[in-house]
Chain A
Amino acid sequence: DAGITQSPRHKVTETGTPVTLRCHQTENHRYMYWYRQDPGHGLRLIHYSYGVKDTDKGEVSDGYSVSRSKTEDFLLTLESATSSQTSVYFCAITGGQGQPQHFGDGTRLSIL
C-alpha cells in the first residue's frame, strides 16, 4: 500500500470550532488532494496541491483552507466548522497527471 496516513481517523466537535486534518505521505509524490464523501454525492474535490506552497481550489472549497509547507504533509483546515461539513474526508496522492491516485483510509468528522 502507498504510504499515506490521515489523522485523526475520527473526530467529533462543535459548530464554530476550528478543525485541522492532517495527511502525511512517505512516497515523495508531488500531488496531494483532499476530498469529502457524502451519501448521494460521491467524492468531491475540496482543494489540491501540486507542490510545496502550491495549492488550488476544487469543486467544494468554500469554508476550507489548506497548507503544504513540506512535500509530505498536506493540512486541511475548517476555520469555523459547520454542521454541513460533517462528512468523511479522504486524502489522496499521485505522482503526476494521468496517474492513479492512492487514498488514505479517511477521517470521519462529525460537527454537532
Chain B
Amino acid sequence: SQQGEEDPQALSIQEGENATMNCSYKTSINNLQWYRQNSGRGLVHLILIRSNEREKHSGRLRVTLDTSKKSSSLLITASRAADTASYFCATDKRDDKIIFGKGTRLHILP
C-alpha cells in the first residue's frame, strides 16, 4: 500500500507557535496533497505538491516534499485557534484514486 502515514498522531501547541506535521509514504507518487478536517465537517483541500516540486507555500502554510525519503511536511506558521482540526496527507499515482493517511489531530491552546 502507498498509504501515507502522518506523524504525530496528535499535537497540542500554544496559539502563535508554529505547527509541523509529517507524512511518510511507501511507493513512488505522482503528487501529494494535504487536507484539513474540522470537527463534524468534510475534508477541505489545502495544498497540492507534485513529485517534481520540493516546496510550496500558501498563506501561512508551507509544504515540503522529499521524494528520496518518501516524506512530506506541513508547516503552519503563527497558529490560530481556528487551525484546530485534523490534517491528512493523501498520495496518488497516475490513476483515479488517492490514498489518505490516518491524520494528525492539531489542537491550538489559547
Contact = CB atoms under 8 A, between A and B. Distances in A.
Interface in A4-56: 31, 33, 35, 40-45, 48, 50, 56
A89 B2 CA distance: 22
A43 B100 contact: yes
A75 B102 CA distance: 25
Interface residues of B, number: 24
A42 B97 contact: no
Interface string B44-72: 11001010000000000000000000000
Contacts of B95: 97
Contacts of B43: 43, 90, 92, 101, 103
Given A100-B33, A104-B42, A42 B102 contact: yes
A97 B42 contact: no
Given A40-B102, A43-B88, A98-B30, A50 B42 contact: no
B92 to A, nearest CB: 7
Max count, chain A CB within 10 A of own CB: residue among B31, B44, B95, B97: B97
- The 10 A-B pairs with the shortest beta carbon distances in the complex, nearest first, are A103-B42, A42-B102, A100-B45, A43-B100, A103-B43, A105-B42, A42-B100, A104-B42, A50-B96, A98-B31
Interface of B: 30-31, 33, 40-45, 48, 50, 88, 90, 92, 94-103
